[in-house]
């Protein structure tokens, strides 16, 4: 299928040679994950969110209450990628609003970072997988164009990948999170760091040296230092 045909299916307003390539109708979206969403489709996050709310590029759209798109500063220097919405997120339409979100905010605040000012949060998939299971590869593929557009629009200096699913979705790396957490990975001209998901820290709350909570404290300090370095 040609690029022109893909854009026509997407809902381009005009198809004449003089039509602007950015002139898109946002009443239509590709309902099949086999039809790509071209990079640069959205001019802002509001447009992207409007598509996510009516998206059925995979079967998760059939069971959601809300598509969970993102929250935080739309010009944030740090973007955090989670796995997918849980029950609280599905009900409220916002990512990281349960206990994991509360812990994440405390971790950020410990190094003087604010979600409202410094961070934008989103997920690999925007709809809750049933029973909070791990998203399938097909679901990740269907939703990845939205994630890539969010990264493009926010344009962060640093991306934090919370857990193995987020690491695989962005970098393709299949290493276990305990092996690669706390290491810097260069991806598309940006600095990425795999970190523990806050939910994992809630299950492993011991603060002892070498334990997940202690390791997270080392990581968030390194992240703060890297942000100061790249912002100088």
Amino acid 14: pLDDT:
33
28-43 per-residue burial string, b: 16 or more CB within 10 A, e: under 16 = ebbeebebbbeeebbe
Confidence of residue 188 (pLDDT cuts 50, 70, 90): very high
Instruction: Say if residue 220's pLDDT is above 70.
Output: yes
Residue 72 reports pLDDT greater than 60: yes
**At residue 18, does pLDDT exceed 50?**
no
Is the pLDDT at 35 greater than 60? The verdict is yes
Q: Which of 25-29, 58-62, 127-131 has the lowest mean pLDDT?
A: 25-29
The C-alpha atoms of residue 67 and residue 94 are separated, in whole angstroms, by 8
Q: How many CB atoms lie within 10 A of CB 224?
A: 18
CA 88/CA 21 separation, integer angstroms: 39
Note the pLDDT of residue 146.
96
Residue 8 has pLDDT above 90, yes or no: no
List, in sequence order, the alpha helices (H) in the chain: 3-10, 45-52, 87-92, 99-109, 115-118, 137-154, 164-171, 177-180, 198-203, 212-231
What's the confidence (pLDDT) of residue 232?
86
Mean pLDDT of 200-221: 96
- Closest residue by Cα to residue 154 from 68, 49, 77, 71: 77
CB 180 within 8 A of CB 196: no
**Residue range 149-169: mean pLDDT, rounded:** 97
pLDDT at residue number 27: 55
Q: Considering the entire predicted model, what is its pTM?
A: 0.88
Averaged confidence pLDDT in the chain = 88
- Give the dihedral of Cα atoms 204, 166, 129, 200; nearest 10 deg: 0
Q: Note whether 115 and 71 are within 8 A (CB).
A: yes
Directed axis angle between helix 137-154 and helix 45-52, to 10°? 160
Angle in degrees, CA 182, 195, 188, rounded to 5: 80
Q: Cα separation of 28 and 89, whole Å? A: 25
In this prediction, residue 25 carries a pLDDT of 52
């Amino acid at each position: 299928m040609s690029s022109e045909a893909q854009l026509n299916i997407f809902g381009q307003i005009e198809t004449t040679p003089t039509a602007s390539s950015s002139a898109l109708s946002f009443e239509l979206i590709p309902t099949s994950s086999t039809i790509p969403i071209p990079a640069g489709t959205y001019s802002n996050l509001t447009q992207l969110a409007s598509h996510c709310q009516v998206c059925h590029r995979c079967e998760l759209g059939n069971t959601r209450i809300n598509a969970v798109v993102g929250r935080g500063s739309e010009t944030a220097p740090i973007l955090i990628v989670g796995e997918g919405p849980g029950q609280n997120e599905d009900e409220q339409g916002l990512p990281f609003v349960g206990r994991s979100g509360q812990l994440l905010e405390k971790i950020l605040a410990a190094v003087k970072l604010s979600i409202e000012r410094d961070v934008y949060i989103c997920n690999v998939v925007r709809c809750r997988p049933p029973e909070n299971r791990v998203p399938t590869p097909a679901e990740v593929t269907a939703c990845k164009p939205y994630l890539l557009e969010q990264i493009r629009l926010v344009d962060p200096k640093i991306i934090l990948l919370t857990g193995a699913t987020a690491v695989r979705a962005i970098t393709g790396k299949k290493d276990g999170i305990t092996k690669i957490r706390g290491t810097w990975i260069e991806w598309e001209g940006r600095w990425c760091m795999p970190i523990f998901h806050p939910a994992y820290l809630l299950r492993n709350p011991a603060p002892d040296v070498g334990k997940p909570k202690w390791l997270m404290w080392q990581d968030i300090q390194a992240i703060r230092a890297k942000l100061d370095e790249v912002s100088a």
